[in-house]
């Protein structure tokens, strides 16, 4: 059963909805540049969903939905256009107005400080988080946010999906042709972000604000491909390297030995300075926020061999492996969408139990959703597939709570259709349809989907959907 004060909400991020990419002093970001590279293929950040100009209308839709919380992000380059220099008062003003509008409508802001959109001037200056210099710039920016918005923001999230940024440096605006060098730069950035996260938590606590702070972890949950011991061990090792190495350093204040061993073995070990271990200590988060979408199946590495015969119920995802360690498979017991993301509400239950048992910290789900090519017909969107997805997730969140998990919020991805980080506008996640295409902004009309009204009832019944 969900507690009476459970924070039902929904999520977005700045670069995926705001638009106004160069208005009122905002600086250029990595996600602007990334979208402009695909301008002939997909929608860009230039207009996105035009939330910058329509935020009051959007907040009223949030109120209509019954949202208790809204997981959003602040664009670093809207607050400090070059990432390190002069503060942009117009950026401060915009987020003050948005936060005030949320509070006025009894919606709790859950604010992410860095959600992929990295200031490009910091890339030009010193290659972003690949440099230690970026740590102080991020801490300063975070402090500016705490000082300006901390009186009204109760929940702060530091870095969104740090592991994704580390493994895909182009999200940070770094483009490297050599794959091994790209991995090395990614792991060095990872280490610097770990320090930045820890220092931001310490800075927040110095201010004695009445709120809480934690990381945002992407948690792809893995099952072993069989009961073969090598497969079981591989699934654990992959989950450790993709998820728990990060939560371990946040919780224990030290990089785990299994990560150090793996990086040294593969010539990927990051450089550490003498006092780095001290910097990582004493910054345990107040909660852990999870971006959770799918489960995967992992077996021992097959050295390119196909496992697709009568002896195996599983098909290998031939384009996905970790050389020398793991082979990824499809799950024949689950449904997949066209982007090969499966639907597994039981997997969410399992993931929540694992995370709770490992750390015993309050948990939030701040992303969880189904991407689909929604169709607008007669001013309506009948997304029964998304309702089915949400029903399963809510049902198994309730079961996890009954099993003792302290889950405090659910914010599915996403409140409205957003600009996908890789696939434009046609991969839609929203509870609210935005009437535009990749190449025609049309009128950007906001149209609640059937899932909007289902979720509205779910919130009204506090998750009692049986």
pLDDT tens for each residue of 70-118: 999 999 999 999 999 999 999 999 999 999 999 999 999 999 999 999 9
Angle formed by the axes of helices 257-265 and 245-252, to 10°? 130
Of 81, 71, 70, the residue nearest 113 (C-alpha): 71
Choose the weakest-confidence range: 157-161, 166-170, 262-266: 166-170
Confidence of residue 443 (pLDDT cuts 50, 70, 90): very high
What is the pLDDT, as a whole number, of residue 174?
Answer: 80
Cα gap 210→190, rounded to integer Å: 29
Q: Does the annotation count 161 as an active-site position? A: yes
Choose the weakest-confidence range: 73-82, 172-181, 402-411: 172-181
Q: Does the annotation count 357 as an active-site position? A: no
Give the helix, strand, coil percentages of the chain, each rounded to 5: 40, 20, 40
Q: Which tokens in the block code for residue 334?
A: 């689950």
Cβ(192)–Cβ(138) under 8 Å? Answer: no
- Indicate if the pLDDT at residue 445 is higher than 90: yes
Q: Which domains are present in the chain? A: 7-223+248-294+343-460 (3.20.20.80)
Determine which one of 161, 274, 278, 306 is catalytic: 161
Q: Is 311 exposed, middle or buried (0-12, 13-18, 19+ CB in 10 A)?
A: exposed
Cα gap 309→297, rounded to integer Å: 17
pLDDT tens for each residue of 310-343: 334 445 554 577 888 888 888 889 998 888 899 9
Distances (CA, A) of 397 to 3, 95, 218, 351: 12, 32, 17, 10
- Indicate if the pLDDT at residue 462 is higher than 70: yes
Please report where in the chains the tokens 């948690």 appear, as a residue. Answer: 219
Confidence of residue 176 (pLDDT cuts 50, 70, 90): confident
CA atoms within 13 A on the CB side of 253: 15
What's the mean pLDDT in 38-59? 92
What is the pLDDT, as a whole number, of residue 313?
Answer: 41
Choose the weakest-confidence range: 96-110, 194-208, 289-303, 369-383: 289-303
Q: Which residues, 6 or more positions from 176, have their beta carbon under 8 angstroms from its beta carbon?
A: 169, 182, 185
- Indicate if the pLDDT at residue 269 is higher than 80: yes
For the entire predicted model, the pTM comes to 0.94
- Indicate if the pLDDT at residue 387 is higher than 70: yes
Determine which one of 18, 101, 239, 367 is catalytic: 367
């Amino acid at each position: 059963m969900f507690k009476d004060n459970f924070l039902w909400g929904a999520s977005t991020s700045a670069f995926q909805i705001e638009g106004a990419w160069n208005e009122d002093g905002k600086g250029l970001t990595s996600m602007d540049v990334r979208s402009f590279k695909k301008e002939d293929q997909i929608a860009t950040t230039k207009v996105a969903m035009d939330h910058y100009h329509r935020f009051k209308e959007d907040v009223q839709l949030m109120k209509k939905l019954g949202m208790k919380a809204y997981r959003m992000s602040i664009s670093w380059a809207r607050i400090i256009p070059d990432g390190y220099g002069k503060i942009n008062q117009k950026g401060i003003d915009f987020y003050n107005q948005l936060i005030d509008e949320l509070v006025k409508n009894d919606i709790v802001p859950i604010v992410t400080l860095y959600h992929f959109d990295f200031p490009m001037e910091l890339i030009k200056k010193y290659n972003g988080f690949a440099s230690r210099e970026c740590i102080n710039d991020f801490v300063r920016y975070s402090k500016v946010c705490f000082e300006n918005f901390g009186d009204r923001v109760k929940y702060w999230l530091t870095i969104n999906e740090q592991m994704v940024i580390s493994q895909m440096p182009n999200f940070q605006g770094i483009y490297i042709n050599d794959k091994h060098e790209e991995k090395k730069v990614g792991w060095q950035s990872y280490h610097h972000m770990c320090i930045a996260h820890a220092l931001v938590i310490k800075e927040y606590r110095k201010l004695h604000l009445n709120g809480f702070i934690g990381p945002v972890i992407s948690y792809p949950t893995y099952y072993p491909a069989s009961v073969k011991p090598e497969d079981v061990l591989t699934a654990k090792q992959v989950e450790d390297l993709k998820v728990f190495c990060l939560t371990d350093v946040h919780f224990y204040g030290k990089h785990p030995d299994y990560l150090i061993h793996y990086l040294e073995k593969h010539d990927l070990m990051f450089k550490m300075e003498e006092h780095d271990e001290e910097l990582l200590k004493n910054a345990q988060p107040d909660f852990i926020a999870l971006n959770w979408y799918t489960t995967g199946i992992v077996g021992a590495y097959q050295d390119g061999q196909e496992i697709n015969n009568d002896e195996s119920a599983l098909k290998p995802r031939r384009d996905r492996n970790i050389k020398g360690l793991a082979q990824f498979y499809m799950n024949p017991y689950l449904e997949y969408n066209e982007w090969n993301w499966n639907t597994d509400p039981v997997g969410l239950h399992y993931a929540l139990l694992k995370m709770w048992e490992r750390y015993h910290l309050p948990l939030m789900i701040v992303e969880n959703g189904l991407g689909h090519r929604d169709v607008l017909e007669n001013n309506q969107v009948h997304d029964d597939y998304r309702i089915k997805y949400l029903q399963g997730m809510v049902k198994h969140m309730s079961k996890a709570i009954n099993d003792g998990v302290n889950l405090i919020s659910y914010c599915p991805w996403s409140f409205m259709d957003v600009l996908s980080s890789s696939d434009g506008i046609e991969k839609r996640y929203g509870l609210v349809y935005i009437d535009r295409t990749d190449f025609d902004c049309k009128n950007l009309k906001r149209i609640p989907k059937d899932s909007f009204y289902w979720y509205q009832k779910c919130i009204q019944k506090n998750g009692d959907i049986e």
